[in-house]
Amino acid sequence: MKKRKLIVNDLMQKNYVFYITEPVGKNFHTEFSPEVTPKQMLEMGVFGGKYMTDCRDEFPKDWYTHAKLCHECHDPELNYYGINASQPLSVWRKNGWIYHEDPRGWFQWYCRYYMGRRCPDDERQIGRWKAMIRHIAQIKKHCKKEDLNCRPKQRQALLNWAYDSRKI
């Protein structure tokens, strides 16, 4: 695959340059197997709809066709489970969870990774994604199979990390 250069100009990054080195949605790390794509996440409802409303030039237009977004505010009702399961960006910054190339956090990293970018932060982010399985264990322990009303906050958190708890 030919390497492709992208330049990002949005509210949080000006003239950020990165390269696409892998085919879209392919060649993921062997320990990284997300259950939903970024497009599916945006359509289902994540991060109160506030996430990446100004990034339409960076990602495929069809990601936004049926996305549940709100440019004005974070609206938990737009989330798939209708509940807030997100920490504010200030908490992410304070805890050192933000990689400088992805100032919006994990989901921005995942979107770029999905599109074919690979970067020095990949291993750390994949490790953080893998750590979310603790929520799967809790749902399996405390909920009847496919009871989507059981532990909605954990289910929304899992969706925010590309896990599909509807199957649990």
Which is more confidently placed, 116 or 97? Answer: 116
Contact criterion met (CB below 8 Å) for 65 and 56: no
> Does residue 17 have a pLDDT over 90?
yes
The total domain count for the chain is 1
pLDDT band at residue 51 under the 50/70/90 scheme: confident
125 domain residue, yes or no: yes
Classify residue 90: in a domain, yes or no. Answer: yes
Q: What is the mean pLDDT of residues 13-26?
A: 97
Distance CA 45, CA 156 (A): 9
* Amino acid 87: pLDDT: 87
Question: Is the residue at 25 inside a domain?
Answer: no
- pLDDT value, residue 167: 87
Rg of the chain (C-alpha set):
16
∠ Cα 156 55 18 (to 5°): 105
Closest C-alpha to 84, from 149, 153, 147, 148: 153
Domain that holds residue 162: 35-167
For 144, the token pair is: 């009847």
